[in-house]
């Protein structure tokens, strides 16, 4: 296998299975970010012990991505190590722009409780801090977890909740956080489209709700990247819902950047049908 992943300079670089095999014989706490990211993408359970070691990496981003990699493997045996990795972090860590404690606690909930606990935590648990609720969406987007239909149904419901602002904690979010969260949903849908036909298999009610959410985003003042991801996500829906999601773009002028994504999406929709 070949992997094209981000390194510590945010550049896409090449990593091969041979490079991963060589890294396997070293301590994970010494890994470069690109090695951790390639192991995450591989979803190979062979690397779990090295990724557990990487939880103690001196570079925070490497620790975070090792956590995402463990989530990608859905490796419950790593839960005690995840808990230990954040045992020394106090409440002040939640206040950081990127909280290792909050990310790790979110991953622990996902691994321990599965989709039922994710749903309960996101939609029902009034005591859970909104940061954790938001991070469910980031964890799906930033990891390379293998999606199930239940994951996609949750993300579709979460996207609708954001679009309609049906939950009190969503209504209180800063615009930048709101945009980041809903973009994470669209990024997950785009990857799901690449891996399988999950969006195409959504029931009519969820397909309609997601199409409406995408349409709302495309007519909003959210950023170009968010809208590009929304358009790409729409291409995975069944034709009637995909066209409903993108209808607004066909009826009014829009930027060249969005037009390119729109035409690409329409080409995918036409070929599929």
> pLDDT tier at 201 (50, 70, 90 boundaries)?
very high
Q: Tokens 């690109």 correspond to what residue?
A: 34
Among the listed residues 197, 227, 202, 204, the one whose alpha carbon sits nearest the alpha carbon of residue 214: 227
At 114, list the tokens. Answer: 């599965």
Q: Please, which residues bridge with residue 13 across strands?
A: 5
- Residue that is last in its domain, among 140, 155, 187: 140
Looking at the fold, whether 120 and 136 belong to one and the same domain comes out as yes
Looking at the fold, whether 126 and 166 belong to one and the same domain comes out as no
Distances from the Cα of 158 to the Cαs of 145, 186, 242, in angstroms?
18, 11, 18
What does the pLDDT average to over 124-129? Answer: 96
Looking at the fold, whether 241 and 257 belong to one and the same domain comes out as yes
Domain region containing 99:
1-140
Output the average pLDDT for the chain. 95
At 107, list the tokens. Answer: 């991953």
Stated pTM of the model: 0.94
Q: How many domains does the chain have?
A: 2
Q: What percentage of the chain carries pLDDT values higher than 90?
A: 92
Say how many C-beta atoms besides its own lie within 10 A of residue 45's C-beta.
12
At 99, list the tokens. Answer: 């909280």
Looking at the fold, whether 59 and 105 belong to one and the same domain comes out as yes
Among the listed residues 63, 59, 9, 11, the one whose alpha carbon sits nearest the alpha carbon of residue 40: 63
> pLDDT tier at 249 (50, 70, 90 boundaries)?
confident
pLDDT at residue 251, as a whole number: 65
Query: Are the beta carbons of 211 and 159 closer than 8 angstroms?
Result: no
């Amino acid at each position: 296998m070949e992997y094209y992943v981000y390194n510590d300079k945010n550049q896409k670089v090449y990593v091969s299975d041979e490079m991963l095999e060589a890294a396997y014989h070293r301590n994970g706490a010494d890994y470069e970010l690109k090695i951790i990211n390639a192991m995450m993408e591989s979803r190979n359970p062979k690397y779990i012990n090295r990724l557990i070691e990487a939880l103690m990496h001196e570079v925070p981003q490497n620790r975070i991505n090792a956590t995402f990699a463990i989530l990608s493997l859905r490796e419950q045996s790593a839960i005690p190590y995840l808990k230990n990795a954040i045992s020394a972090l106090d409440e002040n860590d939640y206040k950081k722009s990127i909280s290792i404690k909050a990310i790790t606690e979110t991953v622990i909930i996902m691994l321990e409780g599965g989709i039922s606990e994710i749903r309960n935590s996101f939609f029902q648990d009034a005591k859970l801090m909104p940061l954790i609720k938001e991070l469910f969406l980031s964890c799906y987007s930033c990891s390379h977890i293998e999606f199930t239909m239940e994951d996609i149904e949750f993300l579709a419901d979460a996207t609708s909740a954001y679009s309609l602002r049906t939950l009190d904690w969503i209504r209180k979010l800063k615009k930048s956080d709101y945009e980041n969260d809903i973009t994470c949903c669209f990024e997950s849908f785009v990857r799901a489209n690449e891996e399988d036909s999950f969006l195409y298999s959504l029931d009519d009610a969820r397909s309609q709700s997601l199409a409406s959410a995408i349409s709302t985003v495309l007519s909003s003042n959210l950023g170009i990247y968010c809208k590009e991801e929304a358009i790409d996500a729409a291409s995975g829906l069944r034709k009637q819902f995909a066209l409903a999601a993108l209808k607004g773009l066909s009826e009014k002028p829009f930027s060249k950047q969005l037009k390119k994504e729109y035409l690409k999406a329409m080409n995918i929709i036409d070929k599929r049908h």
